[in-house]
Amino acid sequence: MIALLVLLFPFLLLAFMLFMGRVEEPLDRAAVEREIESFLDAANPEELDAFVREGTDPALSRFRHRRRLWRRLRPNTRAGRNGQLGHG
């Protein structure tokens, strides 16, 4: 019985991984769609120009890079609505 489990385990694991890949694919697509929506709302003219000239991937990579820099450079305070400091 254990020998059968040892022989079947790699195939069961492979089947599970293929199934999870199919489950994950729509979630990834939805995340990219939300990111593109965020990009179009907040992109500067240079990033929009890159989006038109070079396509989605280069423009999104520039946008992500700018957002990472912005997060590093901004103060470590929690801003609420309208830039007011939140309490809690």
Q: What is the pLDDT of residues 5-17, one digit of tens each?
A: 889 999 999 999 9
- Does residue 10 lie within any of the structural domains? no
In a domain, 31, yes or no: no
pLDDT digits (tens, 9 = 90+) for 4-58: 888 999 999 999 999 998 888 877 777 777 888 888 888 888 888 888 888 878 8
| Domain count of the fold of the chain | 1
Once rounded to an integer, what is the mean pLDDT over residues 51-80? 76
Lookup: tokens for 18: 């293929």
- Kindly state whether residue 45 falls inside one of the protein's structural domains: yes
Say if 87 falls within a structural domain.
no
In a domain, 2, yes or no: no
Query: Does residue 42 sit within a domain?
Result: yes
Please say if the pLDDT value at position 81 is more than 70.
no
What would the mean pLDDT of 65-88 be, rounded to a whole number? Answer: 64
| Whole-number Å distance between alpha carbons of 67 and 73 | 10
Distance CA 67, CA 42 (A): 10
Model pLDDT, residue 78: 54
Distance, CA of 70 to CA of 45 (rounded, Å): 17
Q: Is residue 28 part of a domain?
A: no
Residue 9: predicted pLDDT: 93
Note down the domain range covering 55. 36-73
Domain-embedded: residue 82: no
